[in-house]
A and B are shown apart, each in its own frame.
Chain A
Amino acid sequence: MWKTIVRRFLIMIPQLFVLSLIIFIMAQFMPGDPFTGAITPETDPARIEELREKNGLNDPWYQQYGRWVGNAFQGEFGMSYTFKRDAGSLIGERAVNTFWLSLASVIILYVLAIPLGVLAGRYHNSLLDRAIILYSFVSYAIPTFILALLFLFFFGYTLGWFPTSGSVDIKYDPGTFGYIMNKIYHILLPATTYAILGTTTVIQYLRSEIIDAKGQDYVRTARSKGIPMRKVYSRHIFRNSLLPIAAFIGFTITGLLGGSIFIETIFGYPGMGQLFISSILSRDYSVITALVMLYGFLALLGSLLSDIIMSIVDPRIRIE
Chain B
Amino acid sequence: MKNKSWSLLAMLLAVLLVLAACNGSDDTKEKSPGKDSDGEKTSDSASGDLLTLSVENKGDAVKGGVLQVALVKDEPFQGIFNWELYEDGYDADLMEWTNNTIFEVDGEFMINDKGVATLDVDEENLKATVKIRDGVKWSDGEPLKVEDLILPYEIIADKDYEGVRYDGDMKNVVGMEEYHAGTADTISGLKKIDESTLEISFKKLSPAVYYGGDGLWTYAEPSHVLGDIPVADLLAHDLVRKNPVTLGAFKIEKIVPGESVQYVANEHYWKGKPKLDGVLVKVVPSSSISVAIKEGKYDLVQRFNATAWKEIENLDNIDVLGRQELYYSYMSFKLGKYDYTNNVVVTDEANAKMGDVELRKAMGFALDIEQVSEVYYNGLRERANSLIPPVFESFYDDSLEGFSYDPDKANEILDAAGYKDVDGDGLREDKNGKPLEIKLAAMAGDQTQEDVISFYLQNWKDVGLNVTLATGRLIEFNSFYDKVQNDDPEIDIFMGAWGTGTNPSPYGLYSKTAVYNFSRFSSDELESILESIDSKEALDTDFRGKQFRAFQEYMEDNALVIPMQFRYELFPVNKRVKNYNVDYNSLTSDNLQDLELVAEEPVAAK
Option from A83, A137, A157 in Cβ contact (under 8 Å) with B291: A157
Task: Determine whether the beta carbon of A150 is less than 8 Å from that of B21.
Answer: yes
- CB of A153 within 8 A of CB of B254, answer no
Bound Cα distance A170, B17 (Å): 34
Judged by a CB distance under 8 angstroms, whether A106 is at the interface is no
- What residues of chain B lie closer than 8 Å to A152, measured between beta carbons? 288
A167 CB to nearest chain B CB (Å): 6
Q: Assuming the A-B contacts A41-B508, A141-B14, A270-B76, are A32 and B24 also in contact, with contact meaning beta carbons closer than 8 angstroms in the complex?
A: no
| A32 engages B479 (CB within 8 Å) | yes
Q: How many angstroms from the CA of A267 to the CA of B11 in the assembled complex?
A: 26
Contact between B164 and A38, CB atoms less than 8 A apart = yes
Q: Does A220 contact B (CB under 8 A)?
A: no
- Judge whether B478 and A268 touch: CB under 8 Å: no
Whether a CB of chain A sits under 8 angstroms from the CB of B361 is no
In the complex the two chains form, is B259's CB within 8 Å of A31's CB? Answer: no
Query: Given known contacts A146-B17, A166-B283, A170-B254, is B168 in contact with A153 (CB within 8 Å)?
Result: no
The residue on A at minimum CB distance from B338 is: A45
A47 interface residue, CB < 8 Å from B? yes
> Are A93 and B498 in contact (CB-based, < 8 A)?
no
Q: Select which of B74, B164, B297 is within 8 A of A43 by beta carbon.
A: B164
Determine whether the beta carbon of B10 is less than 8 Å from that of A36. no
| Contact flag A153-B288 (CB < 8 Å), given A31-B479, A54-B162, A141-B14 | yes
Interface size on A, residues (CB 8 A): 58
Q: Indicate if the CB atoms of A268 and B10 lie closer than 8 Å.
A: no
> Which A73-130 residues have C-beta < 8 A from chain B?
82-85, 93, 130
Which of B76, B478, B498 gathers most chain A CB within 10 Å?
B76
Nearest-neighbor residue (CB-CB) of A137 within chain B: B10
Nearest-neighbour CB distance to chain B for A193, whole angstroms, equals 13
Min CB distance B217 to A, Å, is 13
Nearest Cβ on chain B to A38's Cβ, whole angstroms = 6
Residue in B88, B262, B297 whose beta carbon sits within 8 Å of that of A164 in the complex: B297
A170 to B167, CA, bound (A): 38
**In the complex, are the beta carbons of A134 and B6 less than 8 A apart?**
yes
Distance in Å: Cβ of A313 to nearest Cβ of chain B: 31
Check A84 against B85 for contact (C-beta < 8 Å). Answer: yes
Residues of B within 8 A of A50 (CB): 166
**0 or 1 for each of B1-38: is its CB under 8 Å from A? (1 = yes):** 00000110111011001101100100000000000000
A299 at the interface (CB under 8 A from B): no
B535 at the interface (CB under 8 A from A): no
- Residues in A with CB closer than 8 Å to B76 are 270, 274
The docked-state distance in angstroms from the alpha carbon of A133 to that of B13 is 13
Q: Does B523 touch A at the CB level, under 8 Å? A: no
Whether a CB of chain B sits under 8 angstroms from the CB of A37 is yes
A163 to chain B, nearest CB (A): 10
A51 to B162, CA, bound (A): 7
B288 adjacent to A164 (CB under 8 Å) = yes
Q: Quick check: A149 and B288 within 8 Å, CB to CB?
A: yes
Q: How far is the CA of A168 from the CA of B344 in the complex (A)?
A: 52
Given the known A-B contacts A40-B501, A153-B24, are A142 and B164 also in contact in the complex, defined by CB atoms under 8 Å? no
Are the C-beta atoms of A153 and B291 separated by less than 8 Å? yes
**Set of chain A residues within 8 Å of B17, measured between Cβ atoms:** 138, 142, 146, 150
Set of chain B residues within 8 Å of A84, measured between Cβ atoms: 78, 80, 85, 87, 162, 235
Q: Is A64's CB within 8 Å of the partner chain B?
A: no
What mask results when residues 505 to 519 of chain B are scored 1 for a CB within 8 Å of chain A, else 0?
A: 000110000111000
Q: How far is the CB of B164 from chain A (nearest CB, A)?
A: 5
Cα distance A165–B283 in the bound complex, in angstroms: 8
Q: Contacts A32-B482, A46-B167, A266-B288 known; A146 to B21 CB distance under 8 Å?
A: yes
Contact A138 B509 (CB under 8 A): no
A39 at the interface (CB under 8 A from B): yes
Q: Hey, what's the 0/1 contact readout for A167-183 against B, CB within 8 Å counting as 1?
A: 11011000000000000
| Complex Cα spacing A37 to B295, Å | 35
* The residue from B6, B20, B259 contacting A166, defined by CB atoms under 8 A apart: B259
CB under 8 Å from chain A, chain B span 403-420 = none
Please determine whether B481 and A36 come into contact, CB atoms closer than 8 angstroms: yes
Q: Is B106 interfacial (CB-CB < 8 Å)?
A: no
For the complex, give the distance between the alpha carbons of A313 and B11 in Å.
Answer: 37
Interface centre among B10, B78, B235 (most CB of A within 10 A): B10
Complex: chain A residue closest to B253, CB-CB:
A170
| Complex partner residue of B258 from A43, A266, A270, CB under 8 angstroms | A270
A308 to chain B, nearest CB (A): 36
Cβ-Cβ contact count across A and B, 8 Å cutoff = 163
**B-side contacts of A153, CB under 8 Å:** 24, 288, 291
CB distance from B167 to the nearest CB of A (A): 3
Taking a contact as CB atoms under 8 Å apart, the answer to whether B235 and A40 are in contact is: no
- The closest CB in chain A to the CB of B475 belongs to A31
Report how far A44 CA is from B282 CA in the complex, Å.
33
Q: Please tell me if the beta carbons of A46 and B10 are within 8 angstroms of each other in the complex.
A: no
Residue of A nearest to B286 (CB): A265
B260 at the interface (CB under 8 A from A): yes
What residues of B have a CB within 8 angstroms of the CB of A39 in the complex?
A: 481, 516
Interface flag for A42 (CB, 8 Å): yes
The reply to whether the CB of B401 lies closer than 8 angstroms to some CB of chain A is no
CB distance from B288 to the nearest CB of A (A): 6
Q: Is A303 part of the binding interface, using a Cβ–Cβ cutoff of 8 Å?
A: no
A44–B168 Cα distance when bound, in Å, is: 6
B168 touches A166 (CB 8 A): no
Measured CA separation A41–B387 after assembly (Å): 13
What chain A residues lie within 8 Å of B543 (beta carbons)?
Answer: none
> Does A208 lie at the interface of the complex (its beta carbon under 8 Å from any beta carbon of B)?
no
Cβ < 8 Å to B, chain A residues 242-281: 265-268, 270, 274-275, 278, 281
Contact status of A85 and B235, CB under 8 A, knowing A32-B481, A47-B164, A149-B287 = yes
Is B236 part of the contact surface with A, judged by Cβ < 8 Å? Answer: yes
**A281: which B residues are within 8 A, CB to CB?**
477-478
Quick one: CB contact mask for B269-294 with A, threshold 8 Å, 1 for yes?
00000000000101111011001100
Q: Quick one: closest A residue to B514, CB to CB?
A: A45
Question: Quick check: is A222 within 8 A (CB to CB) of the other chain?
Answer: no
Q: Which residues of A contact B287 (CB under 8 A)?
A: 145, 149, 265-266
A149 close to B21 (CB less than 8 A): yes
A166 touching B282, Cβ below 8 Å: yes
Query: Could you say which residues of chain A place their CB within 8 Å of the CB of B516?
Result: 39, 41, 45
Q: Which residues of A contact B24 (CB under 8 A)?
A: 153
Instruction: State A142–B13 Cα separation when bound (angstroms).
Output: 10
Within 8 Å CB of B479, what residues of A? 31-32
Task: Give A83 to B500 CA distance when docked, in angstroms.
Answer: 25
A138 touches B295 (CB 8 A): no
Q: Do A170 and B280 have beta carbons less than 8 Å apart?
A: yes
Q: Which chain A residue has the least Cβ–Cβ distance from B604?
A: A157
Residues of A within 8 A of B74 (CB): 265, 274
Q: Could you tell me the distance between the alpha carbons of A112 and B483 in the complex, rounded to whole angstroms? A: 51
A100 to chain B, nearest CB (A): 15
What A residues does B48 contact at CB under 8 A? none
* Inter-chain contacts of B258 with A (CB < 8 A): 270
A48 at the interface (CB under 8 A from B): yes
From the candidates A31, A46, A170, name the one contacting B483 in the complex (CB within 8 A).
A31
Closest 9 interchain pairs by CB?
Answer: A32-B478, A44-B167, A137-B10, A31-B479, A45-B515, A141-B14, A31-B482, A270-B76, A47-B167
A50-B166, A137-B10, A268-B283 known; 14 new pairs, CB 8 Å cut-off, are A35-B164, A38-B87, A39-B516, A47-B164, A48-B164, A133-B6, A134-B13, A138-B13, A142-B17, A170-B255, A170-B259, A265-B287, A270-B75, A270-B258
**Can you list 27 A-B pairs with a CB-CB distance of less than 8 A?**
A31-B482, A31-B483, A32-B479, A37-B478, A38-B164, A42-B501, A45-B514, A47-B167, A51-B164, A83-B78, A84-B85, A85-B236, A134-B6, A137-B7, A138-B10, A138-B17, A141-B11, A142-B14, A142-B18, A146-B17, A164-B288, A166-B259, A166-B260, A170-B254, A265-B74, A267-B285, A268-B285
